Structure 1
Amino acid sequence: MGQGTERVTFGSVLAVSEFRAMWAAELLSIAGDQLARVALSVLVFQRTDSAFLTGLTYALTFVPALVGGILLSSLGDQYPRRDVMVAADLARAVLVGLMVVPGIPLWLLCVLVAAMTLLNGPFKAAQQALLPDVLTDEKYTVGMAIRNITSQSAQLVGFAGGGALVSAINPPVGLALDATTFLASALVLRRGVRHRPAPTSSSTESTRTSFFAATTEGARLVWRDPGLRVLIALCWLAGFYVVPEALAAPYADGLGAGAFAVGLIMASDPVGSVIGGIVFGKWVPERVQIRVIGVLGVLAGLPLVLCVLHPGLITSMALFALSGMFATAYNIQGTASFVRRLPDAQRAQGSGLLSSGLITVQGLGALAAGALADQIGPAHTIALAGFVGAIVAIPIAVGWSRARPARSEVEESR
């Protein structure tokens, strides 16, 4: 921050009415998604008594977002971004509403779940592309920290709250409430965020980018820019650092602990993420964050390495929380720097590639960790993931020190 510049606080960011609308809409969507996942799991298990089909339905609430992020994220560059978000919310409300129809065939339910999740891709891409227009300079990074804190907190209480709610009512009512959250989100966005034309609106029909070109342009853009390549690699380190959450159940079993410990282990990373969002969002200047994100990528892996010593439950939770704190710090600033470096006309495409790739590497990391844990045990697998993640992060940190501008993006934007 330059001399005489007012310190950016959480309060000053929340004073921006458009950000409050986007933040409230995102919280509504998170609440609805968590509730829907619980309701769908209960509904499918009640109807089929099959753990496999229940797991398949649960997976469908995540996986198609990858396809949506790759194929549909360019909609946020071709059309007004607020309108893309509103349209995605309305479409998801209709899809979830159809799930409530009594006697709906299981195959059709799965199709509806997949279609609903598919639309999360263009929604998130348009949201991330629009946010820098709503929040400028350091307000953008502080806003990212606020979003992270609230989303992680919502995930901490979402499953427990969703389970209690679904047990008190019934799954179809839970799905109906989810549809209502999408409608409410669309209304909040429509009324609270002003209309902005699409970045490509000045293009004529003859020069407008084709759909196929639009789906690949973001990848080409990232590949050509060394800074973007380094930043996306930094964010994708999550493929290593998701391993403790993925192995929570066998790790707890190795400690001789029960199901309650599984929940505590899975909650450790979000707790650390909330702490990291508060610490770095409130007290660390953005110019400092930009310089150290590569180092933070290395530090996020080191606590996991200590799992090789087979620590107890409390120590393990502290290690996982510490890793989550460092990972959140580099992820918030890494994402902010990545989005800032994107040209406005390709911002949604690049953001979609980042978020959809993040889902992919986390899924692959969890899959690989599960297979390896069967061979060497969960504690050693987590330690190995932390070690390899830290080693991979070293050249990324070196690459960022070379690729980042001499002055921060914040200073250049002024």
Structure 2
Amino acid sequence: MQSKTQPRLGLARNRNFLLLLAGQNLSAFGDWFRTVTTIGLVYVWTGSAANLSLLFISSIFPMVVVSSFLGPVIDRFPRRTLMIVADLARVLVGCGFVLMIPLESPYLLYLLLAINGAFSGLYLPARSALIPEVIKSDQLPRANSILATSFSAAMLISTGLGGLLADLWSAQTIYLIDAATFLVSALCLVFIKPTQPSSTVRERVSYIEQVREGMQEIKKSRNIQCAIWILMAREAALSVVYVIFSLYILQVVNQGNFGLGVGHTATGIGQILGGLTLAAYFKKQKFTPEQYRKWATLSLLLLGFFHTLSYQLGDFWIFLLLVVVANLWYSPIDVLSSTSIMTYAKPEVQGRIFASSLALSRSFYLGGFMLMAIIGNELSVSTIAWCMGGFLLFASLLHHLLSVKMVQVRSDLSV
């Protein structure tokens, strides 16, 4: 009995993990609080689907660029320090939003979102690479499940409040709260002291050599390739979902900012339930390639099916129910991908692997928004949803084929 409960007790008493959890959730709270407010502002100022797409593009493109080039930096310097720098920079960005609001220019908002996205491109892979330094390897599946679930909870609270408070408070007040969350997040990170061996690269290794080592690690590992692919497919689909989600609520069912808040709350509920279910599952099951293949493929398939179905109806409350069910499969994809990379990538290159994963997945995410900027005003929400569902069906089948080969290779090696 003691051995079965030890992983849970270890995480509950792990001061570093709790501080990382608090810092992540505060950063997420600030991001989503700001996002809901900014979506509302841009829609009021422009009323255009293309401009909503540009809003997301301005956040994602700098993240892709930064994560593409700074992978070696994340493996060279302490990950905790890089995260603190990123949080403090985003405090200043939050204050910049306050100053720009009176000008009513969406393009100035896009500029600030771009700067914020650049520092997020540093923060996110550094956070993922830091996790194995504060968590034991046998606790990684549950730890990642808890982190994903708490992230969804932060999203639920922040988007729900954001939708409600956008009609009660000024945008300046909300952006000041956004800045404050990043400041407190940085303070949480200051007190983290990694307990696992640090895996920073040797100073004499050149930047080009570090990039090459990271690419070779991805090239030779089917496990890592599959983990990155499921993120790429999910992000491509969700970029489309984020746009049609806003269009459906604001145009099809005319629910306004309150509807956006309730819709994001439904999204968060689904992600929390999915993350809790996966955490409970891995409390009793060991993480294996077979378990990964089954759950990752199923998650992609059902994510596409229920998202497609939700946009075929005109009833807002049925839509919310289907959104909850669709998002049950969001967190498992993130957890399975992260755990696979942490399990199969060498510690000294994990920063580069996570940076590459972020860059590739966000490139697909960015591509989806670019596509929506072109077709968002030309096709109906229902038609776009059908196309998105077809893509996820293809992605799940391709992942199944890749991961079957992965399991077969593992079986051959064991023999």
Fold match, TM over 0.5?
A: yes
CA gap 1:257/1:69 in 2 versus in 1, 3 angstroms: same
- C-alpha deviations, 1:137-195, integer Å up to 9, x for none? 33221111111111112222322312433444422333232222222111111123359
- C-alpha deviations, 1:247-270, integer Å up to 9, x for none? 33666799x744377776665554
SS in 2 for 1:60: helix
CA gap 1:163/1:248 in 2 versus in 1, 3 angstroms: closer
Residue 405 of structure 2 corresponds to 399
Q: Could you tell me which of 38, 47, 65 is aligned with 2:63? A: 65
- C-alpha deviations, 1:192-223, integer Å up to 9, x for none? 3359886336x34xx2322x554554333212
Q: Which amino acid aligns with 1:157?
A: I
Is the counterpart of residue 117 in structure 1 residue 122 in structure 2? no
Contact kept in structure 2, 1:222 and 1:229, CA below 8 Å: yes
Worse overlay, 366-375 or 222-231: 366-375
SS in 1 for 2:338: helix
- TM alignment of 1:96-107, pairs within 5 A: 96-101=94-99
> 2: distance between equivalents of 1:9 and 1:315?
39
Q: Which amino acid aligns with 2:291?
A: V
Contact kept in structure 2, 1:10 and 1:143, CA below 8 Å: no
Residue 140 of structure 1 corresponds to 140
Contact kept in structure 1, 2:60 and 2:366, CA below 8 Å: no
Residue 354 of structure 1 corresponds to 357
Q: Unaligned stretches of 5+ in structure 1?
A: 409-414
Q: Report how far residue 117 of structure 1 moved.
A: 1.4
> 1: distance between equivalents of 2:300 and 2:137?
30
- C-alpha deviations, 1:302-321, integer Å up to 9, x for none? 44447579578577655554
Q: Which amino acid aligns with 1:221?
A: E
CA gap 1:174/1:264 in 2 versus in 1, 3 angstroms: closer
Is the counterpart of residue 219 in structure 1 residue 218 in structure 2? no
Residue 158 of structure 1 corresponds to 158
Residue 329 of structure 1 corresponds to 332
Residue 245 of structure 2 corresponds to 248
> 1: distance between equivalents of 2:149 and 2:413?
28
Q: Which amino acid aligns with 1:143?
A: A
> 1: distance between equivalents of 2:260 and 2:85?
38
Residue 23 of structure 2 corresponds to 25
Q: Report how far residue 58 of structure 1 moved.
A: 5.1
> 2: distance between equivalents of 1:365 and 1:54?
14
CA gap 1:344/1:158 in 2 versus in 1, 3 angstroms: same
Residue 79 of structure 1 corresponds to 77
> 1: distance between equivalents of 2:4 and 2:399?
34
Contact kept in structure 1, 2:214 and 2:352, CA below 8 Å: yes
Q: Report how far residue 32 of structure 1 moved.
A: 1.4
Q: Say how many residue pairs are matched.
A: 399
Residue 234 of structure 2 corresponds to 238
- TM alignment of 1:41-56, pairs within 5 A: 41=39, 49-51=45-47, 55=52, 56=54
> 2: distance between equivalents of 1:88 and 1:156?
23
Is the counterpart of residue 279 in structure 1 residue 285 in structure 2? no
SS in 1 for 2:71: coil
Contact kept in structure 1, 2:228 and 2:357, CA below 8 Å: yes
> 2: distance between equivalents of 1:237 and 1:40?
26
Contact kept in structure 2, 1:227 and 1:403, CA below 8 Å: no
Q: Report how far residue 83 of structure 1 moved.
A: 0.9
CA gap 1:18/1:138 in 2 versus in 1, 3 angstroms: same
CA gap 1:209/1:328 in 2 versus in 1, 3 angstroms: same
Residue 193 of structure 1 corresponds to 193
SS in 1 for 2:205: coil
> 1: distance between equivalents of 2:66 and 2:341?
20
Q: Which has the higher helix share?
A: 2
Q: Unaligned stretches of 5+ in structure 2?
A: none
> 2: distance between equivalents of 1:393 and 1:226?
11
CA gap 1:195/1:320 in 2 versus in 1, 3 angstroms: same
Q: Report how far residue 21 of structure 1 moved.
A: 0.6
Contact kept in structure 2, 1:251 and 1:378, CA below 8 Å: no
Percentage of identical aligned residues: 18
> 2: distance between equivalents of 1:31 and 1:301?
26
Residue 412 of structure 1 corresponds to none
- TM alignment of 1:278-357, pairs within 5 A: 278-284=276-282, 285-287=284-286, 290-303=289-302, 304-305=304-305, 321-357=324-360
Worse overlay, 314-323 or 90-99: 314-323
> 2: distance between equivalents of 1:235 and 1:195?
29
Residue 381 of structure 1 corresponds to 387
- C-alpha deviations, 1:264-299, integer Å up to 9, x for none? 666555433222211120234342564222222332
Q: Report how far residue 65 of structure 1 moved.
A: 1.5
Worse overlay, 307-316 or 237-246: 307-316
SS in 2 for 1:193: coil
> 2: distance between equivalents of 1:288 and 1:179?
38
Residue 411 of structure 1 corresponds to none
RMSD: 3.9
> 1: distance between equivalents of 2:42 and 2:323?
32
CA gap 1:113/1:312 in 2 versus in 1, 3 angstroms: closer
Residue 228 of structure 1 corresponds to 224
> 1: distance between equivalents of 2:367 and 2:108?
27
Q: Report how far residue 94 of structure 1 moved.
A: 2.6
Task: State TM-score, norm by structure 1.
Answer: 0.80
SS in 2 for 1:63: helix
- TM alignment of 1:33-44, pairs within 5 A: 33-41=31-39
